[in-house]
Structure 1
Amino acid sequence: MMEITPQSKPFSFCIARETAPEAGRATRDRLAAEVAADFGPRDERAFALVARDAAGEWLGGVNGVIHWRWLYVAQFFVAEPWRKRGLGAALLAEAERLARETDCVGLYLDTFGPCALAFYQAQGFVLAGTIENFPPGAARTFLYRPLTPAI
């Protein structure tokens, strides 16, 4: 048990590591309510875009969420034989169409790979920031692309 004295009123508490799936629910729900009060509801919607060949074989895809009028690309992957053939650009273009259809103001994502970073920048994404040594020996880079009104 720990004790602190904020404003001359001592009280006791304990901090525990909890592993049950519902352990973080109270924190998540209270934070979500406070953030929604300040910035509006998150209104989060998941999406998945999948590229398949004529035989139905999976070639690549994009998964993520739309919230606060931004489309977040959480996972983006193109099978090795289909890289550098335009499929990745086509998937991002479809993500942009989805973003526009849902009244988003931009897209954002993060990556660990230098090749992926160059690809995203070639697609018009702008560097937002980098965390060095995350994962160890590499860097995690955050990028975004604001959407201008369609002409």
Structure 2
Amino acid sequence: MDKPLIKITVQTEDFSLADEYQLLANTPGCGAVLTFSGLVRDDGSTQLQSLELEHYPGMTEQALTDIALLAVARFKVKAVTLIHRIGTLTPQQQIVLVGVASSHRREAFQAGEFIMDYLKTKAPLWKKQHLATGSDWVDAKHTDAECAKRWDLS
């Protein structure tokens, strides 16, 4: 198997889903491309004005690379793209992209889900929500930890 392509980016600017898809689709031996784009969400009850994302430079990129390498080893995918935005974002803006190219759909779906579950629990990223009523840091969700736990091999 050729060495998998891994693209990790932590950035303030938006990304083009179409451009990232095309890069993955051009991976040699690719038969499936999975993309997931997460958005800043406001369910209406919180009156979210913005979401501020902070990270630990260097450590965040390494953690994302480690997650991608685990996915490549576990699911035998051909390419992984992982883009996470930082800075201040407003509702409906793109916050994260997970892209996977593989020979077959099953590996692409599994790797994408694995990457997202691990990203939510293992990446040094912090969110501060700015509401109409004030600001506060967003706590880690118990459900995210449960999702990531199902991938553990122990």
Could you tell me the TM-score, scaled by structure 1's length?
Answer: 0.28
* Structure number, greater radius of gyration: 1
Q: TM-score, normalised by structure 2?
A: 0.28
